Chains A and B, each alone.
Chain A
Amino acid sequence: MPVQGVFVSNINCENSLRNTVVIIGAGVCGLSIGWQLAEAGAKVTIVEKSEPGRGATWAAAGMLAARAEAEPGEQALLSLNLKSQEYWPEFRNKLEKATGVPIGYRDEGTIIVALDRDDAADLEFNYKLQASLGLDTKLLSGSEARGKEPFLSPKINSAIFSPLDHQVDNRDLVNALRIAFVRAGGDLKIYSEVDSIVTENGSVRGVHLNGEEIPAQFVVLAAGAWSRTIRGIAKEDLPPIRPLKGQMLALRMDPNKPLLRHVLWAPKGIYMVPRNDGRLLIGATVEEKDFDAELTAGGILHLLRESWEALPGIDELEIDEMWTGHRPTSRDDAPILGPTSVEGLIIATGHHRNGILLAPITAKTISQLILTGDLPKEIEPFGIERFRKPKNRTPHAA
């Protein structure tokens, strides 16, 4: 059944178990799927082990930047990212209308800067990649970049401007989604940890929660970095993901005289994101440290050194907050979306650094899959079966 727009139309729920859905995890994706399903008339319970959106969703910077972040070998992911970015304005309008909560969507665009000759070579290399992928970005000189952001370092010699890469305040977004989900009739169980997923004869039956079984026709695994810790998932359905640690911090700017208005990428993978309330987010380290959640001197030094090089004016700013988070990173950095070998068990996790960006398309496609039984075209390349290919290589002779 073809579905127009972001939102799936209402359906009839006759059978009492039909369209009962349990979603594990109230991150941005779990909440978005839940909201959309509840709006369509399904009976939805979201089970969350702490507060909604306190994992990667809270730690994120809310960049909606498919273009600036395009990487080699990830064309399929790029198409999905671009499609979701297209859905964002409608998703935002509907959410703000449903809740009256503004979510800090900003559309000034994203600037990527180069500080020395080597950075400039890298920048041009990336610009060529973006151009070859048909992305709408522009090369700027250093002074053109300073024309857009006057406090940029005089050392900046060139830049890429990506006008269509926007941002949203991810923490406001979580609060809005929570309200929208509950208003649409969804049941949110917080501080509740799923013991296991219950299956029977190859079909999902529900989840175990504090020894009690919640029956459901569909269970959606949306537990982000924690998705592998849920029991009752067969080995072949266990998503190949890992927590990828990131450290971040926020400085305080004068909201009436902000030091920065665009999202800014400095060399060495460091970005700065200005918020409406004057917070300036700086992120993020990328560390293979499992669920380690410590802030380190080296991590914060790296963030401050690289951001200070690009925007020396941060020197005077107060530190507002420092935190760590864990990206739910799949083997190929693309999300895992769709059915499993167990009927009714659906995966929506592994969004890596793109969870906020991909929330609208995740919600749209997963709810469509549940409501119609048809696998939407957009997520066909992102099923878990892509990781089940046999290996060609013979094992190393030890």
Chain B
Amino acid sequence: MGMHDQEKFKIAGRDFSSRLLIGSSGFPNNQVMLESIEGSGADIVTVAIRRVDLSGAGENILDLLEDDYFILPNTAGCYTAKDAVLTAELAREALGTTWVKLEVIGDRDTLYPDAEHLLTAASELIRADFTVLPYCTDDPVTCKKLADLGCAAVMPLGAPIGSGMGILNPYNIEIIRSSVSIPVIVDAGIGTASDAALAMELGCDGVLLASAISRAHNPTMMAKAMRQAIDAGRLAYSAGRIPKKRYAQASSPEDGLIST
């Protein structure tokens, strides 16, 4: 294996064993979620802090996950900077972590991030010593601004959340990759294994997905497929793909053929 394969996946100085991040929502049930996450090999699991109960007597999702995974709380369901900051603070209280996947949604139908409020919330949280991983549009300018603010990673969308349309603008993802020095994690839009592989081939550091696994007919099987896709895509990126050409180039040497 080449040197690149040995490269650790690091966010904010912390090592992680997998470049695949899994969202914990939307699975048919918690048992399927646990089996899928295990099969995916993921190390980081995101949890919607507003959608979990942290106080009750019942078995909550954190009881099931916190011993085995790095829990990354997210601010899903927040529509303003204020809301997102309060939710991040709630997560810090409840989970004792300063890490947050920051989501500020701007529109109910597309679930597109609200760039203005995202930047405001990110800057406020960074000032309060949070480690911020913002979910953002695949817009190089916004990503650059988020990086300059001091975010620990940027998480541009491949396509709208849950749409399964894959990476709609690979050129933007490549530009984002080359214009920031922090990890780039494609978040949202992945529909199947080749989408995840493409993200890695484009040079992204990781992929976050949920629906592609949780809503598949066989979630645990899809989890395994995603694990292999991430590995394959990363290896292909590190190995260095050949350039695309217009004409054939025979793989055997054409010189020195014996002619009759």
Q: Is A388 an interface residue (CB 8 A)?
A: no
Contact residues of B between 215 and 255, Cβ < 8 Å to A: 215-220
* Interface contact A72-B28, CB-CB below 8 Å: yes
B29 to A, closest residue via Cβ: A333
Complex CA distance for A128 and B32, rounded to whole angstroms: 20
Partner of A331, one of B59, B67, B70: B59
- Residues on A with C-beta less than 8 A from B216 are 72
Contact residues of A between 366 and 398, Cβ < 8 Å to B: 391-396
Quick check: which of B50-58, B99-107, B119-127 contacts chain A, the rest being far away?
A: B50-58
* Binding site secondary structure of chain B: loop
Q: Which of A74, A125, A394, A396 has the most CB of B within 10 A?
A: A396
Interface size in chain B (residues, C-beta < 8 A): 29
* Interface contact B32-A391, CB-CB below 8 Å: no
Contact with A along B51-81 (1 / 0, CB 8 A): 1110111111100100111100000000000
- Residues on A with C-beta less than 8 A from B69 are 396
Complex CA distance for A125 and B191, rounded to whole angstroms: 14
- Residues on A with C-beta less than 8 A from B169 are none
Q: Is A144 an interface residue (CB 8 A)?
A: no
Q: Is B260 an interface residue (CB 8 A)?
A: no
Q: How many A residues are at the interface, by size bracket?
A: 20 to 34
Partner of A225, one of B38, B58, B60, B70: B58
Q: Is B178 an interface residue (CB 8 A)?
A: no
B40 to chain A minimum Cβ distance, whole angstroms, is 11
Partner of B56, one of A290, A331, A334, A396: A290
- Residues on B with C-beta less than 8 A from A73 are 28-29, 32, 218-220
- Residues on B with C-beta less than 8 A from A132 are 217
* Interface contact B70-A332, CB-CB below 8 Å: no
* Interface contact B51-A240, CB-CB below 8 Å: no
* Interface contact B68-A391, CB-CB below 8 Å: yes
Contact residues of A between 215 and 274, Cβ < 8 Å to B: 225, 228-229, 240-243
Q: Is B6 an interface residue (CB 8 A)?
A: no
A222 to chain B minimum Cβ distance, whole angstroms, is 17
Complex CA distance for A393 and B58, rounded to whole angstroms: 24
Q: Is B31 an interface residue (CB 8 A)?
A: yes
Q: Is B89 an interface residue (CB 8 A)?
A: no
The 5 closest A-B pairs by CB, nearest first: A242-B58, A290-B56, A332-B31, A333-B29, A71-B28
**CB<8 Å pairs between A and B, sample of 28:** A71-B28, A72-B217, A72-B219, A73-B28, A73-B29, A73-B218, A73-B219, A73-B220, A74-B29, A128-B217, A225-B58, A228-B59, A229-B57, A241-B59, A242-B58, A242-B60, A288-B52, A288-B60, A289-B53, A290-B53, A290-B55, A290-B57, A291-B56, A331-B29, A331-B64, A333-B29, A393-B38, A395-B67
